Amino acid sequence: MAERKPIESWLTDMDGVLIHEGTPIPGAEAFIKRLRESGKPFLVLTNNSIYTPRDLQARLARMGLDVPVENIWTSALATAKFLDDQRPGGTAYVIGEAGLTTALHDIGYVLTDHEPDYVVLGETRTYSFEAMTKAVRLINAGARFICTNPDETGPSTEGPLPATGAVAALITKATGKQPYFAGKPNPLMMRTGLNAIGAHSETSAMIGDRMDTDVLAGLEAGMQTFLVLTGLTTEQDTEKFPYRPTKTVPSIADLVDLV
Walking along the chain (259 residues) 10 residues at a time, the average pLDDT comes out as 82 95 94 96 96 97 96 97 97 98 98 98 94 98 97 78 94 98 94 94 96 94 96 90 96 96
Predicted local confidence at residue 78, as pLDDT: 96
185 upstream amide cis, omega within 30 of 0? yes
Q: What are the pLDDT digits (tens) for 151-163?
A: 998 767 777 788 9
15 in active site: yes
Q: Which of 13, 151, 209, 214 is catalytic?
A: 13
- Amino acid (one-letter) located at 129: F
Predicted local confidence at residue 160, as pLDDT: 78
Predicted local confidence at residue 161, as pLDDT: 83
Which runs of consecutive H residues, i.e. helices, occur in 40-179?
A: 53-62, 75-86, 98-106, 129-140, 164-175
Predicted local confidence at residue 4, as pLDDT: 78
Predicted local confidence at residue 2, as pLDDT: 56
Q: Which of 15, 151, 209, 214 is catalytic?
A: 15
Predicted local confidence at residue 154, as pLDDT: 77
237 in active site: no
Q: What are the pLDDT digits (tens) for 115-159?
A: 999 999 999 988 999 999 999 999 999 999 999 999 998 767 777
9-13 and 204-208: which strand pairing?
parallel
Predicted local confidence at residue 22, as pLDDT: 84
Q: Which of 253, 259, 255, 257 is nearest to 28 (CA)?
A: 253
